[in-house]
């Protein structure tokens, strides 16, 4: 952690654990440091980054709190996996927001991240620590696979708690618009204001909205029920199921998301299981949709995007 702080101070990038996925962190107020994030990820520069605050009061330095709803959301869910898009102040360099007038802000609940950003004392820009378009890392070894040799340090905090990226919202006309589903569910958010789902547009606000994202190397298709899927014969077909079932033995290889049929556990395992299947180099991965309630909506969203 001391080394991470030295590197951040020196304008370098470091991979840090958060409670959602591993992030590739740099000083959000230093444009050159932020440029190193794009370089390491090979990320197109039009893609804006999330900034992570050291504490609640730092919010006022980076953005204008527009509504009472925002205040209630931050009081309830921060620190935690909720990102809020707000009008930005001029302190935030354009490279962070890709020239947008808004900035995406959150406060991580991971104790390692919290300690580092707290000592750093300034906002940290951190997208997921994977190469652009690839699966987000939920373990330090995933970051090493994706970015090894390109970044000076990975802080290993073990597997991440939630396993999928934070929920992203913005407030539009008093409603909460969900730009990316995540651990803070639509059901929870509806306690604070009416919730509207975002319309998909050709110029996505969040690349999580790009049709192809979180992509494994193997081709992936999404189905309602794996039992009834009949794919091309003679192919090595990998099955990704919600629960285990003997009916899946006919698949070339398989993995399941939760022994207990628990959606939170499924979310935490999702990217790891996708990687495991992808590493075996199948001809096709067939993934089964999970029940769509709660965090299940976020899992299904990622599966559909991985299918492209
Ligand atoms: O859980 C997370 O959010 C992780 C951890 C590391 O914090 N971070 C993460 O960052 O997923 P990233 O960069 O992989 O995804 C951030 C998403 C992108 O889809 C980006 O387009 C969107 O947030 N975003 C950033 N700024 C935005 C803005 N001003 N308006 C709309 N969307 C924005
Ligand atoms: Mg990402």
- Give the number of the atom of ligand 1 that is nearest the alpha carbon of residue 100: 29
We report the CATH number of the domain holding residue 52 as 3.90.870.10
In a domain, 243, yes or no: yes
pLDDT digits (tens, 9 = 90+) for 152-194: 999 999 999 999 999 999 999 999 999 999 999 999 999 999 9
CA 48 / ligand 1 centre spacing (Å): 7
Q: How many domains does the chain have?
A: 2
Measuring CA to CA, which residue among 112, 141, 143, 139 is closest to residue 3?
112
Residues 144 and 6 in one domain: yes
Q: Is the CB of 221 under 6 A from ligand 1?
A: no
The DSSP result for 253-287, as a single string, is EEEES-TT--HHHHHHHHHHHHHHHHHT--SEEEE
pLDDT in tens, 212-251: 566 788 999 999 999 888 878 889 999 999 999 888 999 9
Q: Is the peptide bond before 79 cis (omega within 30 degrees of 0)?
A: yes
Identify whether 170 is part of a domain: no
**pLDDT at res. 201:** 44
Classify strands 253-256 and 124-125 as parallel, antiparallel or unpaired: unpaired
pLDDT: which is higher, 127 or 98: 127
Region 102-109: what's the mean pLDDT?
Answer: 97
Give the distance (Å) from ligand 2 centre to CA of residue 220: 19
- Nearest ligand to the C-alpha of residue 167? 1
Pocket test for ligand 1, best of 206, 212, 214, 295 (most atoms within 8 A of CB): 206
User: Does one domain contain both 25 and 136?
Assistant: yes
Q: Quick one: 109 and 235 in the same domain?
A: no
Q: Are 137 and 129 in contact (CB under 8 A)?
A: yes
CB 168 less than 6 A from any atom of ligand 1: yes
Does residue 157 sit in the same domain as residue 237? no
Asked if residue 149 and residue 33 are part of one domain, the reply reads yes
Q: Indicate if the pLDDT at residue 25 is higher than 60.
A: yes
Q: How confident is the model at residue 204 (pLDDT cuts 50, 70, 90)?
A: very low
DSSP letter at 296 equals H
Same structural domain, 157 and 288: no
Q: Is residue 302 part of a domain?
A: yes
Q: Determine the 3-state secondary structure of 164 from DSSP.
A: coil
Kindly state whether residues 153 and 225 are assigned to the same domain: no
C-alpha 136 to ligand 2 mean position (Å): 6
Residue 158 is assigned to a structural domain of this protein:
yes
Q: Is 195 left (phi over 0), alpha (psi -120 to 50) or beta?
A: beta
- The pTM assigned to this predicted structure is 0.86
Q: Report the separation in Å between the CA atom of 249 and the middle of ligand 1, taken as the mean of its atom positions.
A: 38
Q: Are residues 156 and 227 in the same domain?
A: no
Judge contact between 180 and 206, C-beta under 8 A: yes
- Evaluate whether 272 touches 139 at the Cβ level (below 8 Å): yes
Whether residue 158 sits in one domain with residue 229: no
225 and 160 within one domain: no
Q: Is residue 202 part of a domain?
A: no
Q: Are 85 and 103 in contact (CB under 8 A)?
A: yes
- Tell me if 216 sits within 8 A of 306, measured CB to CB: yes
Q: Is residue 269 part of a domain?
A: yes
Check whether residue 57 and residue 140 sit in a common domain: yes
* Residue 237 main-chain phi, psi, to 5 deg: -105, 125
- In short, whether 258's Cβ falls inside 6 Å of ligand 1 is no
H-state helical runs in 110-164: 111-120, 140-147
Confidence category of residue 146, pLDDT binned at 50, 70, 90: very high
Cβ proximity of 24 and 40 under 8 Å: yes
> How high does pLDDT run on average in the chain?
91
Does 209 map to a domain? Answer: no
Which among 66, 165, 302 is the best mutation to test ligand 1's pocket, defined by most ligand atoms within 8 Å of the CB? 165
**Model pLDDT for residues 40-66, shown as the tens digit of each residue:** 988 766 679 999 999 999 999 999 877
How many residues in the chain? 308
- Angle, helices 263-279 vs 296-307, to 10°: value is 20
Among 164, 187, 202, residue at a domain's last position: 164
pLDDT number for residue 202: 39
* Distance in angstroms (rounded) separating the CA atoms of residues 205 and 85: 10
Residue 268's domain comprises 220-307
Q: Return the pLDDT at 200.
A: 46
Which of residues 164, 192, 211 is at a domain's end?
164
Any ligand 1 atom below 6 A from CB of 85: yes
Q: Pick from 164, 182, 212: which residue ends a domain?
A: 164
174 within some domain: no
Q: What distance in Å separates the CA atoms of residue 232 and residue 221, rounded to the nearest whole number?
A: 12
Average of pLDDT values for 61-78?
92
| Segment 92-99 mean pLDDT | 86
Query: Which ligand places an atom closest to the C-alpha of 37?
Result: 1
Residues whose beta carbons lie less than 5 angstroms from ion ligand 2? 128
What residue's CA is closest to ligand 1, atom 22? 206
Same domain, 160 and 239: no
**Is 47 a pocket residue for ligand 1 (Cβ < 6 Å)?**
yes
CB 17 within 8 A of CB 115: no
Higher per-residue confidence, 200 vs 75: 75
């Amino acid at each position: 952690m001391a080394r991470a702080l030295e590197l951040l101070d020196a304008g370098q990038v470091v991979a840090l654990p958060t409670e959602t996925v591993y992030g590739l962190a740099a000083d959000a107020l230093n444009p050159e440091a932020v440029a190193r994030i794009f370089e390491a990820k090979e990320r197109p520069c039009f893609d804006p980054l999330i900034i992570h605050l050291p504490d609640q009061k730092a919010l006022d330095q980076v953005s204008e709190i527009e509504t009472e709803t925002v205040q209630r959301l931050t009081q309830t869910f921060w620190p935690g996996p909720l990102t809020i898009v707000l009008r930005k102040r001029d302190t935030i360099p354009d490279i962070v927001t890709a020239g947008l007038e808004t900035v995406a802000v959150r406060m991580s609940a991971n104790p390692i991240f919290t300690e580092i950003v707290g000592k750093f004392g300034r906002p940290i820009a951190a997208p997921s620590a994977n190469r652009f378009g690839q699966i987000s890392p939920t373990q330090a070894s995933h970051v090493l696979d994706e970015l090894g040799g390109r970044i000076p340090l990975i802080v290993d905090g073990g597997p991440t708690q939630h396993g999928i990226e934070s929920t992203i919202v913005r407030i539009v006309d008093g409603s909460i618009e969900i730009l990316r589903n995540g651990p803070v569910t639509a059901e929870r958010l509806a306690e604070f204001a009416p919730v509207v789902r975002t319309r998909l547009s050709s110029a996505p606000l969040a690349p999580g909205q790009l049709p192809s994202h979180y992509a494994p190397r193997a081709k992936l298709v999404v189905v309602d029920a794996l039992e009834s899927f009949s794919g091309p014969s003679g192919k090595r077909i990998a099955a990704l199921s919600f629960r285990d079932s003997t009916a899946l033995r006919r698949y070339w290889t398989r993995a399941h998301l939760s022994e207990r049929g628990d959606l939170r556990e499924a979310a935490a395992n999702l990217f790891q299981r996708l990687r495991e299947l992808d590493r075996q180099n199948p001809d096709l991965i067939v993934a089964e949709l999970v029940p769509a309630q709660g965090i299940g909506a976020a899992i299904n969203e990622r599966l559909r995007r991985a299918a492209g």
